[in-house]
Amino acid sequence: MEKVHTSNLEQFKQQLAGEKSDIEIPLTDRKVFEVVKNIVVTIPASYAGVGHIRTIFPSNYLNAIFGKSNKLQTIVSPFFPTQKDILLRTKAIWFQRVMNPKHVDIIEQYRQKKDALKIKMVYDIDDFIWKGDREGECIPEYNNGREGVTDEIRSASVEIMKRMDLITVSSQFLGDYITNTLNVDVPIRLLENRVFKAFWGDQRKSPIVKKIEKPKIIWTASPTHWSDRLGLKGDIDNAWCEYVLKNVKDGKIQFFNMGCNKVPFYFKELEGHKDYFIVPWTNSYLYHLPVKKINADFSIGPLVPNFFNYSKSCIKMQESYANGSAFIGTTFTNGYTSPYDNSFLTLKDNCTVKDIEDMIDEYSEPEKYNEIITKQYDAMKDNDWYYESAGYIKQLLDCLS
């Protein structure tokens, strides 16, 4: 066996200093390397949940699929790459909700060079950030991210989108708003949110054989859905709040309030109650673990009408479906779209406590409950709502090619 040649310390110093050395990398073929355009650069504006769900998780999964074949390589970048060697190999740049006014100029530079470099520019957004004169046409006051989105940021987001080849959105309402209200003349593609089968598992719950007498109910919502500081109930400013208070006190349900580190002001009287539980929020990689451990019978999606909620995706519904919890979503009585319009179980935003009690009671029966759970599992597969779905991968590649 031929001895592997290594440099001694003096030769190593020469290499570091850039001095002439007799050490060469042996090349059997000295042809100029062919440039392979197989890189997708992903630039997330957020490394919180939204950044992972929309771009980081999909990018990492694409690498897992195509890593060995070298057909595609994704780079999740914290900065805007300008190195020519990278850009020559780049087929697409995927900007996730980039909207800093300082970034408009660099986006323009990419736009001016994209044709020569044959780079596709894709913008992704999954939240409503603008404001208008119609009722609820703004980020709601109870959302603590509202103050950070200035008029300059809103304007910059529009200027950046106008420079793209494609915009991907998580809901059709959001895409229609960008086209019809913001007057952005760029093709829009609906790219719904997904969940990882690797996180939630592929096994189905066993059918129940007797009525659920004391349902476990979970609400997974970050504190952007209400405001303790302002005393605003936000998305639970409806019959759901009264339902939880009444039925926990009466010992009829167990309620799991996930997404806060303390009892929200509107549930303060439940603090310390044996059937009320606070489940702290966690990061995107661990989020599914406490949800799976609780194994709730029902999961709820209370919402109030505003443009932020009209634009939302149905990811909470997807998570519940994947976990095997019967999901009840809110729909709106004002004619606007809801992310849960296609949920198997829905209640209107003006529903009563009795409406909620009747639905929970009806679907606690084995026949009804098992039917809904089965439909939910099937919907995850039929709609390609897993990252691992071949249909989703094709849809994603179509956006980036």
Per-residue pLDDT tens over the stretch 36-89: 889 999 999 888 888 999 999 999 999 999 878 888 999 999 999 998 889 999
Confidence check: pLDDT of 21 > 50: no
372 neighbors 344 (Cβ within 8 angstroms):
yes
How far from the centroid of its chain's Cα atoms is residue 256's Cα?
Answer: 22
Name the H helices within 297-363. 307-310, 315-323, 353-362
- At position 340, the amino acid (one-letter code) is Y
Ordered by where they begin, the domains of the chain are 39-194+387-400 (3.40.50), 197-382 (3.40.50.2000)
Confidence check: pLDDT of 153 > 90: yes
Share of residues in the chain with pLDDT > 90 (%): 82
Burial class (CB in 10 A: 0-12, 13-18, 19+), 383: middle
Could you read off the pLDDT of 196-252 as tens digits, one per residue?
999 999 899 999 999 999 999 999 998 899 999 999 999 999 999 999 999 999 999
Token pair of 197 as six digits: 């089968």
Confidence check: pLDDT of 29 > 90: no
* Greatest distance between any 2 Cα atoms in the chain: 86
59 neighbors 76 (Cβ within 8 angstroms):
yes
Token pair of 105 as six digits: 């100029």
How far from the centroid of its chain's Cα atoms is residue 106's Cα?
Answer: 26
Could you read off the pLDDT of 92-144 as tens digits, one per residue?
999 999 999 999 999 999 999 999 999 999 999 999 999 999 999 999 999 99
Confidence check: pLDDT of 2 > 70: no
DSSP type of residue 146: G
| Helix or strand run (H / E) with residue 144 | none
Confidence check: pLDDT of 18 > 70: no
Share of residues in the chain with pLDDT > 70 (%): 91
